[in-house]
Amino acid sequence: MSLRSDSRRQVSGWLVMSAYGLVSAVLQLVWLTYAPITTAAAGHYGVSEGAIGWLANVFPLLYVVLALPAGIVLDRWFRPTLGAGAALVAVGAGLRLFDDYVFVLAGHLVVAVAQPLVLNAISKLADGCLPDRQRPAGIAAAAAANLVGMLAALILGAAMGADGLRSLLLIDFGAALLAGAALWFGLRGQAPQEIDTPARVSAGALRALFTDRRTRSLGGLVFVGFGVFIALTTWLEPLLKPAGVTNAGTLLAVLVLSGIVGSAVLPAPVVHRGLERPALGATLLITASGCAALAIAPGMLVATVVVIVVGFPLLAALPIVLDTTERVVGAAGGSTGAAFIYLLGNAGGLFIAVAVEQLLGRPGWAFSLLALVVVGGFASLRSLGKGTDWIRAASPIRNPPPHRQFW
């Protein structure tokens, strides 16, 4: 009887994680809707290409501002906050159905506000819904769903074009409604003790995220890795164009697809075997080598090999870091810990992408800069201890429920 009960809870937990993954994927669909059709969309709405570009840019900008507040609210009122985030995704997608740029921008702003409420929940949701042994796989699956959403946005936008824009927006809205409803019902079906660990996040806890050696090092790794990924997705086309590569969009799709496979197969065995540090080190080495190869010998063949080889570990590193961060800060502060990681990842994306933009006329220098940035990530890796003792040491959770303080 007990075994059947445990089995039912596991199935229920995975259904919730699946619904959460769908909401996360829809977020990426909305974010990148116009990326493959920027010029045509500008003509459709009668605005500049820059105005269409801002539909995507508001997401990382608002995330940097709202990441930590959203994490704090999630740790205090997890279930209603995550439900509100899913609802806002549907509302924002619905606003875009009004065929006017003002409503489209408003819809993107609403979804951009929802983004940290949804994404920051990944670690805590997996901890509350799944057994410890399955938590890394749950985090990896949800992180992979983000990449699936990105890939779907690039493929659908390119396939349907501006002529199919109305249908594309309807698909996004319908997917947002279905995913939000599935997550809402899933959250209602979870027992309170399995998903709710209310925590009041102290000011000292927020300071410690930036000063504790472990979280600071993990944040530094994400700043570098996620930042380089965003820079590549933003500028790969103009950087490779002088070398005669004209189908950078296909290369980006291959990069994301390779990352999806990596996220599906790498994180769980790495975490179970305590190989976080060597796996992250190998990721830095492979990424730096790939950027160096593009600096030395840009071309279609080299670029294809690089995006496959680099994408596989680079995008899989994020769920590894998220799982490790949750174990460092403890379950009660899991959402704030995830917020810290995503905050530094988006900040790295903005900073590194702007730096690379200054070198668009010199692609070799731009790829060399990316390689040097990745090499700099070894400084963060070096400050982490060997083995897994550094993860378990000095757990910041001190006080018991119902209202935990962490750090």
Q: pLDDT tens per residue, the chain (407 residues)?
A: 455 555 666 777 888 899 999 999 999 999 888 877 877 888 889 988 778 878 887 888 888 889 888 888 888 888 899 999 999 999 999 999 998 999 999 999 999 999 999 998 888 888 878 887 888 888 888 888 888 998 898 888 878 877 888 999 999 999 999 999 999 888 876 655 556 666 666 666 677 777 778 888 888 999 999 889 888 887 887 888 888 887 777 888 889 889 889 988 888 898 888 888 899 999 999 999 999 999 999 989 999 999 999 999 998 898 888 888 877 776 556 677 788 888 888 888 888 888 888 888 899 999 999 999 999 999 888 877 665 555 655 444 343 344 444 44
Are both 149 and 234 inside the same structural domain?
A: no
In angstroms, rounded to a whole number, what is the distance separating the alpha carbons of residues 204 and 344? Answer: 19
Which residues, 6 or more positions from 57, have their beta carbon under 8 angstroms from its beta carbon? none
With the CA atoms of 125, 231, 59 and 376 taken in that order, what torsion angle do they form, in degrees rounded to the nearest 10?
Answer: 60
Residue 407 counted as domain residue: no
Are both 249 and 183 inside the same structural domain?
A: no
Residue 164 counted as domain residue: yes
Are both 164 and 237 inside the same structural domain?
A: no
With the CA atoms of 319, 324, 325 and 327 taken in that order, what torsion angle do they form, in degrees rounded to the nearest 10?
Answer: 130
pTM over 0.75: yes
CA dist list (Å): 281 to 259, 284, 287 = 17, 5, 10
Which of 198, 232, 263 is a domain's end point? Answer: 198
User: Which residue type, as a one-letter code, is found at position 123?
Assistant: S
Are both 220 and 347 inside the same structural domain?
A: yes
Which of 181, 198, 215 is a domain's end point? Answer: 198
Total of domains in the chain: 2
Residue 340 counted as domain residue: yes
Instruction: Find the domain containing 178 and state its range.
Output: 9-198
Are both 194 and 207 inside the same structural domain?
A: no
146: nearest Cα among 370, 356, 342, 303: 342
Residue 321 counted as domain residue: yes
Which of 182, 198, 214 is a domain's end point? Answer: 198
Are both 223 and 82 inside the same structural domain?
A: no
Are both 194 and 208 inside the same structural domain?
A: no
Q: 406 in helix, strand or coil?
A: strand
- β-sheet bridge partners, residue 404: 199
CATH code for position 31: 1.20.1250.20
Are both 320 and 228 inside the same structural domain?
A: yes
